[in-house]
Chain A
């Protein structure tokens, strides 16, 4: 049972484009929704996170949009750069419990 579903599996955009990655969750007890960025051979790095009491959060070029009623959240990357090429994971957790991850999106930003 996959509690966090992520799409698309892969995404190619041109430099300056705005890739959007979507996630949907099932467990309404989730109260913390982070996004992680992973480069090849490295560990996942926390990018940005949101709680369900807000609908949007921005940090630099990264924005999370959150729709509690639809149980969906998404990551937008503004003015994407080739250096943003990586695998992105959404995740969710309850309290201070372990993260449940989505299946990942491989993003390629072409110059």
Chain B
């Protein structure tokens, strides 16, 4: 069984569009994250969220917003997509220190 899953695996869209990436975890964890991996493979936190607290990395544009319908899901909504948003986006979850990552969503903005 997949612990942390993301859909879609690949997403190709045009500038200016609005898109969403879904994340689900079946580990019973209480904290979920979104990370961005750029073309140089550098991984950087975007958001961390549990039912009590949303922490937003100050460098993340407000076009990006996390939405959590329940404890097992943390979706990422992106408005007005830009070329620079092209990257691989990873969802992760944790209960303590150990974070477990999903397979990633490769977003390409044309």
Q: Which residues of A contact B (CB under 8 A)?
A: 32, 34, 36, 38, 41-46, 49, 87, 89, 93, 96-101, 103-104
Contacts and interface: CB of A to CB of B under 8 A. Distances in A.
A97 B48 contact: yes
A46 B43 contact: no
B102 A43 contact: yes
Contacts of B90: 43-44
Interface in B30-47: 31, 33, 35, 40-45
Q: Is the interface of A mostly helix, strand, loop or mixed?
A: strand
Contacts of A101: 42-44
Interface residues of B, number: 24
Interface of B is mostly: strand
B37 to A, nearest CB: 9
Contacts of B44: 101
Given A46-B100, A103-B42, 7 more contacts: A34-B98, A42-B103, A44-B101, A93-B97, A97-B55, A98-B57, A104-B41
Given A98-B33, A98-B55, A43 B101 contact: yes
